[in-house]
């Protein structure tokens, strides 16, 4: 019998989950829940029903895992604990600083409901976190580096869009190649924010807007841009649509460490992602962890889990025997 | 209280474990067991006793984990099941094709003894296996590639040393850069053995040996060299000592996959290791999994485990709270 999947929220991430479920023969998408009127939502899958979010509770026994595809700012802090009382859930909560409180709230709800709730699985947090943990456990003496990009940062793009006179904007985070090379060479550099990443903005101006003022305002924006070398390119609406409608991303996690009696031997562990579609890749991670949630729940586990707490084999549709024979 | 570690076998790997334990403040090396006369063995650690292997059973209650540092050909197939009856154990058994039978034998012994036995943890099998599993679970439609090197292959070096007229030899496995670049570019090439790796041999001849005959014999050796482009360099004993006494290694695990309604988005996951000392890095992995074995045994688990069966958090000395706050 297939793993019965539900989706809550049908934005980029929800659509990505829909595609990812279709790539996994042991799963079936059963329902998409939305805050909109269901009749206004066209989905791609033939098998799934579209329902208003108010129907959720009626589906308690009809889904094995509910994948939460809302945002980390306001949706997930409320939705994940709420839903974890009734469903095994998976989310991609990515506000790093607030993960401990999110974990506590979700853990309480999931334990109350006897459900498994997997939080913060995507690529960062998620796969990058896993690589930080493994690399730190193996090389206790060393230094960690994470670089992001080249890729579109939604948060920074939104920040540019809020500048008066900006009609549309896309912001790329770009790792500084020379910094990356220093890390790979084992030089263990101390890198400032500015030395690790640059920021590239592509901006469509509103008619009559003052380009110089807009550029200055972007570059001076605290937190978002003032600590970086930022370039601003003004482009047409057509070019924006043609060249910048995809959402690529990626990055690098490195650990540079030493072993030996005199710490004389150097080792480098590097993990790289190059993603054409950030939301579709994140969705693929969510779906793999949905399988894990389903299997852990079947074994009687309950409570909140992160990628750290989940044995890798739970993510795969293959049995232990198959995995040992084919992938070990 | 520290985790009390024992080492069985004091070759390159055993010495690496000794160094790695010293880098982990929550562990203490208590004993090194050897087939040699204990008085003939000088070890580096001040805290540990050196004992003959015949003493092992007397140490049943004095060690938390015994790390098995023998070879995969003949030592581990006998030692791991034997020792798993009395100790929590960790090994780096790396004969991929024989892992299923090794697992079965070790699992039976460990369950009988109520112990945790972790097998085949190093970097391949081990960290590379983990990356194959995670990447396959996340991108079910795609293609896997593993490249090894540039690094010293002990098995191939030994094979060259067995050729008549060879006094000493070192063999480097070298990934073909252009093949790697094709994979990174998402071209999903079908690569033959010859197209993935080349082999470089450094050979010290015995006096009077016929270089041309030795070179021909190496290059024609089935399994080891005949399917590869192999180069043979004849060098002096001094050069061998000066330039080729280290044991570097490393490699690349890549998965190239697609997502989306039309499979239109491409993603690349790449994991890279660059290691100055293959045995010291493998030892560092063994020691991290020794911590996992200790903690799993404390929770009442028993039986044989591979890296696939072990939640990442068990490898770290940090608590769940610390990990979520610092690494997620």
Chain B contact for A278 (CB, 8 A cutoff):
no
**Mean pLDDT, rounded, of chain B:** 97
Question: Which member of B100, B140, B316 has the closest CB to residue A325?
Answer: B100
pLDDT of residue A103: 98
Asked if A23 lies within 8 A of B320 by C-beta distance, the reply is: no
Chain B contact for A1 (CB, 8 A cutoff):
no
Q: What would the pLDDT profile of A189-211 be if each residue is shown by its tens digit? A: 999 999 999 999 999 999 999 99
Asked if B315 lies within 8 A of A265 by C-beta distance, the reply is: no
pLDDT of residue B292: 98
What confidence tier does B10 reach under pLDDT thresholds 50, 70, 90?
A: very high
Q: Rounded distance, CA A215 to CA A259, Å? A: 48
Asked if B307 lies within 8 A of A310 by C-beta distance, the reply is: no
pLDDT (average), residues B272-294: 98
User: Residue A260 carries which DSSP code?
Assistant: S
pLDDT (average), residues B11-32: 98
pLDDT (average), residues A1-5: 94
Terminal alpha carbon distance of chain A:
27
Tokens of B322: 């610390």
What confidence tier does A92 reach under pLDDT thresholds 50, 70, 90?
A: very high
Q: Are B34 and B50 in contact (CB under 8 A)?
A: yes
Q: Rounded distance, CA A117 to CA B244, Å? A: 52
Question: Which member of B24, B141, B306 has the closest CB to residue A324?
Answer: B306
Q: Are B271 and A271 in contact (CB under 8 A)?
A: yes
Query: With contacts defined as CB-CB under 8 Å, which chain B residues touch A328?
Result: 96, 99, 120, 125, 129, 306-308
pLDDT (average), residues A60-87: 97
Beta-carbon pairs below 8 A across chains A and B: 208
Closest CA of chain B from A213, distance in Å: 37
Chain A contact for B321 (CB, 8 A cutoff):
yes
Pure H helices in B23-117: 75-84, 99-113
Closest CA of chain B from A172, distance in Å: 18
C-alpha radius of gyration, chain B, whole number: 22
Q: Which residue in B102, B253, B265 has the most chain A C-beta atoms within 10 A of its own C-beta, making it the best mutation to test that interface?
A: B265
What confidence tier does B1 reach under pLDDT thresholds 50, 70, 90?
A: confident
pLDDT of residue B31: 98
Q: What would the pLDDT profile of B86-123 be if each residue is shown by its tens digit? A: 999 999 999 999 999 999 999 999 999 999 999 999 99
**H or E element at residue A320:** helix A320-326
Tokens of B243: 């330039």
pLDDT of residue B232: 98
pLDDT (average), residues A113-139: 98
Nearest to B185 by CA among B256, B94, B102, B87: B256
Chain A contact for B14 (CB, 8 A cutoff):
no
Query: With contacts defined as CB-CB under 8 Å, which chain A residues touch B269?
Result: 127, 272-273
pLDDT of residue B47: 84
pLDDT (average), residues B37-47: 92
Query: With contacts defined as CB-CB under 8 Å, which chain A residues touch B132?
Result: 327
pLDDT (average), residues B68-91: 97
Nearest to A307 by CA among A112, A68, A124, A146: A124
Write the CA distances from B169 to A295, B71, B155, B164, B194, integer angstroms: 50, 20, 11, 12, 22
Closest CA of chain B from A7, distance in Å: 17
Residues 51 to 90 of A: which have CB under 8 A from any B CB?
none
Q: State the virtual CA torsion across A243, A244, A245, A246 in degrees, nearest 10.
A: 100
What confidence tier does A1 reach under pLDDT thresholds 50, 70, 90?
A: confident
Q: What would the pLDDT profile of A19-67 be if each residue is shown by its tens digit? A: 999 999 999 999 999 999 999 999 999 889 999 999 999 999 999 999 9
Nearest to B129 by CA among A328, A218, A242, A316: A328
Residues 285 to 314 of A: which have CB under 8 A from any B CB?
285, 288, 291, 306-313
pLDDT exceeds cutoff 90 at A157 = yes
Q: Rounded distance, CA A163 to CA A167, Å? A: 9
What confidence tier does B56 reach under pLDDT thresholds 50, 70, 90?
A: very high
Question: Which member of B140, B267, B309 has the closest CB to residue A313?
Answer: B309
């Amino acid at each position: 019998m297939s793993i019965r999947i539900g989706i809550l929220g049908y934005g980029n991430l929800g659509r990505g989950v829909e595609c990812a479920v279709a790539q996994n023969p042991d799963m079936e998408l059963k329902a998409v829940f939305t805050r909109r009127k269901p009749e206004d939502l066209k989905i791609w899958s033939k098998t799934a029903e579209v329902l208003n979010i108010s129907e959720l509770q009626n589906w308690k026994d009809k889904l094995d895992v509910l994948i939460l595809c809302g945002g980390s700012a306001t949706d997930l802090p409320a939705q994940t604990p709420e839903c974890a009382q009734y469903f095994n859930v998976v989310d991609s909560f990515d506000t790093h600083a607030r993960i401990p409180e999110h974990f506590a709230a979700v853990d309480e709800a999931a334990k109350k409901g006897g459900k498994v709730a997997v939080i913060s699985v995507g690529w960062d947090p998620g796969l990058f976190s896993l690589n930080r943990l493994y690399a730190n456990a193996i090389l206790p003496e060393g230094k960690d580096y994470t670089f992001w990009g080249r890729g579109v940062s939604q948060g920074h793009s939104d920040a540019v869009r809020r500048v008066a006179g900006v009609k549309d904007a896309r912001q790329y985070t770009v790792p500084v190649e020379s910094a990356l090379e220093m890390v790979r060479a084992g030089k263990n550099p101390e890198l400032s924010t500015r030395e690790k990443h640059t920021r590239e903005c592509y901006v469509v101006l509103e008619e009559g807007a003052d380009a110089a003022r807009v550029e200055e305002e972007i570059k001076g924006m605290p937190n978002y841009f003032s600590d970086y070398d930022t370039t601003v390119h003004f482009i047409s609406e057509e070019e924006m649509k043609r060249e910048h409608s995809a959402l690529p991303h990626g990055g690098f996690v490195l650990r540079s460490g030493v072993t030996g009696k005199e710490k004389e031997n150097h080792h480098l562990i590097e993990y790289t992602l190059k993603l054409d579609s950030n939301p579709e890749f994140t969705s693929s991670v969510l779906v793999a962890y949905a399988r894990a949630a389903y299997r852990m729940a079947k074994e009687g586990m309950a409570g909140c889990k992160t990628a750290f707490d989940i044995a890798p084999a739970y993510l795969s549709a293959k049995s232990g025997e198959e995995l040992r024979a084919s992938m070990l």
